[in-house]
Amino acid sequence: MLSFEEARELLLSGARPIRRTEPVDVLHAGGRVLAEDVLAGLNVPPADNSAMDGYAMRQSDIACAGMSLPLSQRVPAGSVPEPLLPGTAARIFTGAQIPPGADAVVMQERCVVVAGDEVRVDIVPKAGENIRRAGEDITVGCQVLDAGTLLRAQELGLAASLGIAQLKVFERMRVAVFFTGDELRMPGEALAPGQIYNSNRFVLNGLLNEMGCDITDLGIVRDDLLATRDALRHAAQHADLILTCGGVSVGEEDHVKAAVEAEGALQSWRIAIKPGKPLAFGRVGETPFIGLPGNPVSSFVTFQMLVRPYLRRMQGSIDVLPLALPMRADFAWNRSVPVREFLRVRRNAAGGLDLFHSQSSGVLTSCTWADGLVENAPETMIGHGDTVRYLPFDGL
């Protein structure tokens, strides 16, 4: 069996980022991967502006607290101010451009309007006080976003602050999926003895949707070698990746392994992880293939730990490995197994981690209860209070 680290490295080394790109409006680019560096075409902010509602003045005009200055103009945000007359002050609002000649803004709480046309200043301002300088956030010409960045709300706002209307991103990955098992039925259908509902279809479609993939769902394929080969050939025609669920073990009714070997090549199908040992990867023709195990928790965990980084690399992302946090185990795990384990856990109010009561690969409720996984090294037991590697789902 391959170790978890060997399997991940083998997968990532074979990931070939897609090169197809397209321009997308910034408003709709969230979750996409940037295909080219973004340079600033202007300063942000573009001009010196006020950080407060208050009064703009020359610092040298206020020799002591309590002096009054006549008001010479009013400067709302979006207007163009006149040069500030010496010995006067300007009423100014947050974000408004600083009048030429002014070098300080005193917040309105430290000033008192006298007789409607003068302002008393109750402090001696410092030069530059409450002024946001042009280019303080971004200077023209600097690189603000790197190619390969997964675009979040923050990056979209940054691009918009530079006046950028569209970003060049990689096209959505095309993923073809199907599910094997004569026992599988869809919600809404009646169950006969020995049948179960196909929860994996909904989990994997949801995960792929979260990653912004263009999904071709071929549905449930019966446990038959010829049918499986036909589904693989059909999936390979237009997909960047084929993803299957079930049928990758060595039972008489598990045909995916043999079908992939007949239609392409299989690199590995046994990995030293729990849950998720029977995971296959290879190619069908020239299209990459990954086959997930059929147990729902095994499918979910192997997707998160192996398929997600692989997809991110193919999508063009730079950082693809999950965030690992050191946290305290408020539980004991007294089992020592020769494979890497991923335990379903949840943060508690005391700042530690609780363990779900069942770690069976068939208990999908462990994944809905949990907010992350503990990655436990082979042959390792966990004592109450030990520091463990915590992988939060929201950090994947």
> Is residue 348 situated within a structural domain?
yes
- 265, burial (CB in 10 Å: exposed 0-12, middle 13-18, buried 19+): exposed
Do 145 and 189 belong to one domain?
A: no
CB atoms within 10 A of CB 261: 13
> How far apart are alpha carbons 51 and 76 in whole angstroms?
13
Do 162 and 216 belong to one domain?
A: no
Do 199 and 288 belong to one domain?
A: yes
Do 148 and 66 belong to one domain?
A: no
**Domain end residue (candidates: 314, 338, 365):** 314
> Is residue 155 situated within a structural domain?
yes
CATH number at 166 reads 3.90.105.10
Mean pLDDT by 10 residues, the chain (396 residues): 90 92 97 95 96 97 96 97 97 98 97 92 97 96 95 97 97 96 93 94 96 95 93 95 83 76 86 86 94 92 95 92 95 94 98 97 95 97 98 91
Do 342 and 373 belong to one domain?
A: yes
Tokens of 332: 């004991």
Collapsing DSSP to helix, strand or coil, 178 comes out as strand
Tokens of 340: 């890497």
CATH number at 106 reads 2.170.190.11
Chain centroid offset of residue 211 CA? 8
The pLDDT of residue 253 is 57
The pLDDT of residue 348 is 98
Dihedral class, residue 379 (left if φ above 0, else alpha if ψ from -120 to 50, else beta) = left
Do 10 and 109 belong to one domain?
A: no
Question: Which H helix or E strand runs over 209?
Answer: helix 199-210
Do 164 and 26 belong to one domain?
A: yes
> How far apart are alpha carbons 148 and 151 in whole angstroms?
9
Task: Report the number of distinct structural domains present in the chain.
Answer: 4
Give the β-pairing of 196-197 and 54-57. unpaired
- In our burial notation (b when 16+ CB lie closer than 10 A, e otherwise), range 105-136 reads bbbbeebeeeeeeebebeeebeeebbbbebbe
CATH number at 9 reads 3.40.980.10
Do 235 and 307 belong to one domain?
A: yes
Global confidence as pTM: 0.85
Give the β-pairing of 49-50 and 131-132. antiparallel
**Domain end residue (candidates: 283, 314, 345):** 314
The pLDDT of residue 251 is 55
Do 114 and 127 belong to one domain?
A: yes
DSSP 8-state class, residue 110: G
CATH number at 365 reads 2.40.340.10
The pLDDT of residue 277 is 77
> Is residue 319 situated within a structural domain?
no
**Domain end residue (candidates: 132, 160, 195):** 132
Do 108 and 8 belong to one domain?
A: no
> Is residue 8 situated within a structural domain?
yes
Q: 159 lies in which domain range?
A: 21-42+141-170
> How far apart are alpha carbons 247 and 34 in whole angstroms?
36
> Is residue 273 situated within a structural domain?
yes
C-beta separation of 376 from 342 below 8 A: yes
> Is residue 182 situated within a structural domain?
yes
> How far apart are alpha carbons 244 and 234 in whole angstroms?
13
Supply the Cα-derived Rg of the chain in whole angstroms: 30
Do 150 and 242 belong to one domain?
A: no
The Cα angle at residue 35 between residues 26 and 37, in degrees rounded to 5: 85
Do 166 and 26 belong to one domain?
A: yes
Chain centroid offset of residue 42 CA? 28
> Is residue 108 situated within a structural domain?
yes
> Is residue 320 situated within a structural domain?
no
The pLDDT of residue 249 is 62
Give the β-pairing of 54-57 and 89-92. antiparallel
